[in-house]
Amino acid sequence: MQVALNARRLADKVLKPPPFLLYYSDHRLQTPHVEAVDDAPRSSLQWRNYSTLWFSGIIQENLVPSASNHARITLQHPMRSMMMQRASYSSGLSTIEGNPTDAVKELFDKMLKSVAEQRTMPPNAWLWSLIESCNNHDDIKLLFDILQHLRRFRLSNLHIHANFNCNLCREITKACARVGAIDFGKKALWKHNVYGLTPSVGPAHHLLLYAKQHNDAKLMVEIMKLLKRNDLPLQPGTADIIFSICYKTDNWELISKYSKRFVKAGVKLRQTSFDIWMEFAAKIGEIDSLWKIEKLRSDSMKQHTLATGFSCAKGFLLERKPENAAAIIQALNQTLSDAKRASVMVELQKLVSEWPLEVIKRQKEEGRKAMAVALQNDIPAMVNGLLNSGLEVNVNMEDLIMK
């Protein structure tokens, strides 16, 4: 009896699976590489095979049966992964897909061979040349692929933990915008990225200029969100591009939203930003906003530009103050240089022939007729005021007839 009991205990010890296997079995082997696993009972032979393959780092197909007897598991041993991380850099052969240009493919192969076979960092000139040679989306894809290889090599072999400098990030996003690979360009703006890039607002400007070129307000919003999420500070140049996109896409709501963000961040807006902002407000008849912007502008700069001066004149006309409108145009004519004075008559003609129709159509239908009548009376009064002040005015008043 005692012999039988001892034999049973010995068999239990031999056939009992290791504790860590039971742990993973109880937790259904939840690792990133597991596709399926079940709780079906396992024979002692299966457990022995399972244990042997566990230590080899791979679980073969069908050695762990499932309900259908065909579950596939690909599991990498944690200790093996740790050993791989401690080992020197291994490239793990990259496969070139798509249709990259020959020049980019050749540079990619040379750089990959340098880090994978020769175990040396390739010359910087190769990387800069690769960036300049990018002509399509597949080229950019190879560029970002080699960046990952270079970053891993710097970490594992050279023990350099710092990212590449910000100039590299700027040139890479410039290349992305040049070929239209905006998806990769946005990846370069993440503070924590796998490419070793150091994002800043400069690279973001290349993507914003692409959005401006294509009148893409949606892309602009995405980039602004990335700037906020990655704590990238706004700059005056950012406001110039954002305001321009909002104006070109006729989106007053967005320019109002982002202008508040710039002001709150303490960004010192340039004159060009105020030009666009005030001209937009005057164009759509946002009088209250116009005077708030003018107050903000006058706190940082005293002299008007052609755009801000005429915007204020339009605001006075909307308030039915033609004398004030004439006075600001007269003052503008005196302060501008001789080269820019000719532009005063050009803007005055636009005020007479183009602006009234634009601002009237932006109003509610019930208020359009009253505004049309008011402008038909007040604009001639303003012109007469300019004539009385001694300014030579040559505008076609017939264009003031409302359609």
Q: Which of 375, 368, 256 is nearest to 325 (CA)?
A: 375
d(CA 132, CA 126): 10
- Mean pLDDT lowest among 190-194, 208-212, 336-340: 336-340
- Residues 141-166 have pLDDT tens digits of 999 999 999 999 988 888 888 888 89
**pLDDT confidence of residue 153:** 92
Mean pLDDT confidence for 256-272: 97
Helices (H), 188-337: 201-213, 217-229, 236-248, 252-264, 271-284, 287-300, 306-318, 322-335
Q: Which of 265, 359, 368 is nearest to 310 (CA)?
A: 359
- Residues 276-293 have pLDDT tens digits of 999 999 999 999 999 999
Question: What is the overall mean pLDDT for the chain?
Answer: 81
DSSP character for 386? H
Mean pLDDT confidence for 86-114: 74
pLDDT band for 78, please (50, 70, 90 cuts): very low
- Bridge partners (DSSP) listed for residue 34: 73
Q: Which of 141, 127, 136, 135 is nearest to 94 (CA)?
A: 141
**pLDDT confidence of residue 307:** 96
Backbone angles phi, psi at 73, to 5 degrees: -130, 130
- CA of residue 40 relative to chain centroid, distance: 50
Q: Which of 167, 171, 180 is nearest to 211 (CA)?
A: 180
- Residues 335-358 have pLDDT tens digits of 888 888 889 999 999 999 999 999
- Residues 55-65 have pLDDT tens digits of 233 333 333 33
- Sequence-distant (6+) residues with CB within 8 A of 149 are 91, 94, 111, 112, 115, 116
d(CA 241, CA 180): 18
Q: Which of 312, 324, 329 is nearest to 275 (CA)?
A: 312
- Bridge partners (DSSP) listed for residue 73: 34
Single pTM value for the model = 0.74
- Residues 380-395 have pLDDT tens digits of 999 999 999 888 888 8
Q: With b meaning 16 or more CB within 10 Å and e meaning fewer, what string describes 196-226?
A: bbbbbbbbbbbbbebbbeeebbebbbbbbeb
Q: Which of 330, 349, 333 is nearest to 341 (CA)?
A: 333
**pLDDT confidence of residue 62:** 35
- Residues 14-72 have pLDDT tens digits of 444 444 333 333 333 333 333 333 333 333 334 333 333 332 333 333 333 333 333 33
pLDDT band for 376, please (50, 70, 90 cuts): very high
**pLDDT confidence of residue 160:** 86
**pLDDT confidence of residue 6:** 52
Tell me which long-range contacts 71-78 makes (C-beta under 8 A, separation of at least 24): 71/35, 71/36, 71/37, 71/38, 72/35, 72/36, 73/29, 73/33, 73/34, 73/35, 73/36, 73/37, 74/33, 74/34, 74/35, 75/29, 75/31, 75/33, 75/34, 76/31, 76/33
pLDDT higher than threshold 70 for residue 79: no
* Per-residue tokens: 46: 């299966």
Q: Which of 268, 267, 291, 269 is nearest to 281 (CA)?
A: 291
**pLDDT confidence of residue 336:** 85
CA distances from 293 to 18, 63, 284, 355 (A): 74, 73, 14, 20
Whether 143 contacts 134, CB under 8 Å: yes
- The secondary structure of 306-333 as a DSSP string is HHHHHHHHHHHHHTT-HHHHHHHHHHHH
**pLDDT confidence of residue 201:** 96
d(CA 150, CA 11): 53
pLDDT higher than threshold 80 for residue 303: yes
CA angle (181, 161, 166) in 5-degree steps: 40
**pLDDT confidence of residue 64:** 36
- Sole residue written with tokens 């793990």: 92
pLDDT band for 127, please (50, 70, 90 cuts): very high
| Domain coordinates in residue numbering, the chain | 2-86, 100-198, 303-403
> How many residues are recorded in the chain?
403
How many Å from the N-terminal Cα to the C-terminal Cα in the chain?
Answer: 114
Share of the chain above pLDDT 90, in %: 66
Mean pLDDT confidence for 108-119: 94
**pLDDT confidence of residue 33:** 34
Helix or strand holding residue 55 (H, E): helix 44-56
CA distances from 312 to 21, 44, 275, 325, 357 (A): 78, 90, 11, 7, 18
Mean pLDDT confidence for 218-247: 98
d(CA 296, CA 285): 18
